[in-house]
Amino acid sequence: MRDQLPAVHGTVHMNTGTSGPMPQAAIDAMRRSVEQNGEPRITRAYFESLLGGRDVARAAAGRAVGAPPEEIALTTSTTLGIGLVMSGLDWREGEEVVTTTEEHPGILSPLDVLWQRHGVVPRFVDAADVADAVNDRTKMVAVSHVLWTTGRTLDLQPIADAVHEVGGLLLVDGAQSAGNITVDVAATGADAYAFSGQKWLLGPLGSGALWVSPELTQRVWPVTSGYLNLEGGEIGKFKTTAGRLDGGSNDPATVAGFTAALEWVEGLPGGRARWVEQIADNAAAARERLAEVPGLELGLDSGNGLVAFTLAGHEDTAGLAALLAERRVLVRFIPHTPWMRASIGAWTTPEDVEALAAALPG
């Protein structure tokens, strides 16, 4: 496995929560796609390849979250997926969106637009209190499945039950969940679920997808509407599948790399199920070792690959991350919080964890 992940060679790669190590298969697929630019890009064969590649990517992304391809829209990021849903709905002034106090700008920035543009009221609550915060004014709950700050995994079903009882929607940021934990989007109770390609799914920057339930698909306006959102290019005739919400003309090389990264994991022994199990096993072993480091305090254990920690005497987390990078250990600091975050992947070895422990200053 590690032989096929060039980025893990010569460094301790523990920042998959930002961008994961791309497999060689994805790099090769992108190179082949770029080389196609030396051919005429106006032939029928080229366009069939372009559209066919999107269909293959849609199916692969769907398999990663347990959904059929017709329920998947292609995006360039989790943030775009969140924005497509938030901006595609009809809002009235005073309607509320409940979210947590630990959300990423991928939710907060589109939500801020709703506040400024439509007078939608954001309500920020502790992650443990989301379901209880829902009331008759709640039109949407927008939360992360796995919080980027500490790796806490939210139990989405009770939240879904609460917001559906008042006629609202559950929109989920899956940036830190898809590829990190087992995801079955329909079983979560969500109405829409956006996720990144470049993080735990190991794809290129600028890749991602959005799952939308069949019930919600027809209610969301195609915010970036263009040729690819229409049936046969006919104006006013939107596709009936989630493809009506596609976020534009994705770079074909990026689409090819995204697909290849997804398929590479599927082709490993045990496939994605074993991949996720290995992440959890490696993270548990890492937590056990890091607990022995003097002054290090671990965050909540939710059984996934995000391991948050603090180190006594080192409150300058940005400086600590920079110091570790100089020592060839790549981790993440979380702005405006006390947390450092190590992303433990299926490829992480005990030697990697030892390197992190040794690189931490006393």
pLDDT for res 204 = 98
List the domains of the chain with CATH numbers: 2-22+270-359 (3.90.1150.10), 26-266 (3.40.640.10)
pLDDT score of 323:
98
Residue 287 is predicted with a pLDDT of 98
- Percent of the chain at pLDDT exceeding 90: 97
**Residue 178 pLDDT level (bands cut at 50, 70, 90):** very high
pLDDT tens, position by position, 35-83: 999 989 989 999 999 999 999 999 999 999 999 999 999 999 999 999 9
Query: What pLDDT was estimated at residue 176?
Result: 98
High-pLDDT (> 70) share of the chain, %? 100
The pLDDT tens digits of the residues spanning 281-292 come to 999 999 999 999
What is the reported pLDDT for 11?
Answer: 96
Return the sign of the alpha-carbon dihedral for residues 163, 170, 343, 304: positive
Report field, pTM of the whole predicted structure over 0.85:
yes
Give me the mean pLDDT over the 105-123 stretch: 98
pLDDT at 362: 86
Q: Region of 172 please: left (phi>0), alpha (psi -120 to 50) or beta.
A: beta
Confidence of residue 95 (pLDDT cuts 50, 70, 90): very high
What sign has the CA pseudo-torsion 339, 345, 347, 348? positive
Tokens representing 157 are 């079903």
Average pLDDT of every residue of the chain: 97
Please give the Cα distance from 217 to 246 (Å, whole number).
Answer: 11
Report the pLDDT value the prediction gives residue 5, as an integer from 0 to 100.
98
Phi, psi values for residue 13, rounded to 5°:
-90, 100
